[in-house]
């Protein structure tokens, strides 16, 4: 196994959060040398990190931060020099780093003889199979998502036909539920009508009867920092025939995909199964689109993606899915059908890959009627 370096805080770096299961707001240097884990950090973080009993700690005081402060150097130069001293003290001469490794620090390390190689796959692969703490956090986040979806359905049932409702009001109510469940979601999709057919349009404005409303949410469990991901589509009042057809096709695709998920399965093959269903119904898919021409109608995105310390991570279920699924992966399955300028339907469940099949972590109805 190669030596490795990460320089980040644990709130913004999934690579570091996987190795350091604590909220650390300021950047620290994490290193692996011959399988031993090291951290270069300020003394104020030392107590919490030491309690985990996972790392050899190298305090900035020991690396000469006091002298560097007195030298007149600015903080950027001090941070770079402390990282270099830490790397040399640990004995690392070459290492792999994530693609988010700071360029200013890479330049300083390389200028002083440290060889660095960006290796995204190295860090992605170690996060794929979820540990028990991550799975527990994901289940908590998923229960929060379902409770928030209940709040949205309640508002749709009672308000759309009785005086009006906006996407902003639905989001406000859902955010209260997220907070009650110790989760957070910086923004999410409540997209009525045509907005639901525009990629990641977060949605805004009035919600009226007779149009599809796509609600796509990805709350994060604040204890583990692990996400979930879930989508449902609702129509208040009479359901248009085309929306009912899209919903039926999406549910058929969802069921088929989940039935095919297992250890060793091909994400591309599962994606192809969804395309077969949609293409047989006359819908366009990424397999049939014209090269160079954007696909605005039909099924225009991948079938799913991994979820964990990022909302979107490996593995994929799509045209260029390369790595087979493995037990311990958690993936979304999210078939959708759309018409530009009108709206669409998307259903999304969260699925744990097991050795002999799949466990659907989502426990929520699919009804169009809220």
User: Per-residue pLDDT tens for 99-136?
Assistant: 999 999 999 999 999 999 999 999 999 999 999 999 99
Query: Which CATH number fits the domain 132-360, given the four candidates 3.90.230.10, 1.10.760.10, 3.40.1350.10, 3.40.190.10?
Result: 3.90.230.10
Tokens of 70: 């007195």
Q: How far apart are CA 271 and CA 148, in angstroms?
A: 29
pLDDT at residue 321, as a whole number: 86
Say if CB 146 and CB 230 are below 8 A apart: yes
The answer, yes or no, to whether residue 163 has pLDDT greater than 80, is no
User: Which CA distances in Å does 19 have to 151, 267, 282?
Assistant: 35, 27, 47
Pairing of strands 313-317, 330-333: unpaired
Closest CA to 54 of 74, 35, 68, 71: 35
pTM: 0.94
pLDDT at residue 149, as a whole number: 98
The answer, yes or no, to whether residue 162 has pLDDT greater than 80, is no
Q: How far apart are CA 164 and CA 158, in angstroms?
A: 9
Domain topology for 4-127: Creatine Amidinohydrolase; Chain A, domain 1 (3.40.350)
What is the phi-psi region of residue 205: left when phi exceeds 0, alpha when psi lies from -120 to 50, beta otherwise? Answer: left
The answer, yes or no, to whether residue 338 has pLDDT greater than 80, is yes
**CB count in 10 Å sphere of residue 114:** 18
Q: How far apart are CA 365 and CA 360, in angstroms?
A: 13
What's the chain's average pLDDT?
96
pLDDT at residue 164, as a whole number: 86
Say if CB 318 and CB 286 are below 8 A apart: yes
Domain positions in the chain? 4-127, 132-360
């Amino acid at each position: 196994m190669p030596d490795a370096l990460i320089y980040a805080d644990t709130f913004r770096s999934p690579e570091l959060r996987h190795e350091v299961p604590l909220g650390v707001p300021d950047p620290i240097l994490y290193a692996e040398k011959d399988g031993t884990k090291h951290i270069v950090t300020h003394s104020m973080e030392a107590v919490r990190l030491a309690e985990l009993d996972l790392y050899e700690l190298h305090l900035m005081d020991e690396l000469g931060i006091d002298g560097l402060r007195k030298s007149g150097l600015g903080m950027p130069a001090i941070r770079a020099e402390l990282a270099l001293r830490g790397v040399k003290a640990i004995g690392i001469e070459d290492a792999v780093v994530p693609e988010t490794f700071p360029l200013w620090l890479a330049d300083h390390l390389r200028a002083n003889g440290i060889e660095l190689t960006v290796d995204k796959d190295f860090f992605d692969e170690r996060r794929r199979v979820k540990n028990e703490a991550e799975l527990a956090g994901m289940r908590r986040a998923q229960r929060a998502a379902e409770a928030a979806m209940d709040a949205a359905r309640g508002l749709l049932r009672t308000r759309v036909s009785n005086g009006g409702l906006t996407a902003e009001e639905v989001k406000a109510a859902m955010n209260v539920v997220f907070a009650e469940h110790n989760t957070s979601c910086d923004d999410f999709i409540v997209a009525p009508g045509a907005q639901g057919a525009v990629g990641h349009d977060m949605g805004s404005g009035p919600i009226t009867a007779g149009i599809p409303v796509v609600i796509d949410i990805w709350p994060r469990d604040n204890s583990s920092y692990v996400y979930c991901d879930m989508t449902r589509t609702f129509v208040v009042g009479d359901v248009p025939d085309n929306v009912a057809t899209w919903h039926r096709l999406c549910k058929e695709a969802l069921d088929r995909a989940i039935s095919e998920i297992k250890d060793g399965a091909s994400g591309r093959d599962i994606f192809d199964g969804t395309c077969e269903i949609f293409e047989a119904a006359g819908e366009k898919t990424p397999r049939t689109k014209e090269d160079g021409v954007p696909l605005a109608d039909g099924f225009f995105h991948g079938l799913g993606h991994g979820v964990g310390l990022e909302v979107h991570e490996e593995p994929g279920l799509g045209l260029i899915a390369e790595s087979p699924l493995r037990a311990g992966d958690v993936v979304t399955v999210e078939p959708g059908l759309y018409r530009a300028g009108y709206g669409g339907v998307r259903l999304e469940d969260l699925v744990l890959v097991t050795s002999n099949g799949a466990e659907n972590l989502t426990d929520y109805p699919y009804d169009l009627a809220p």
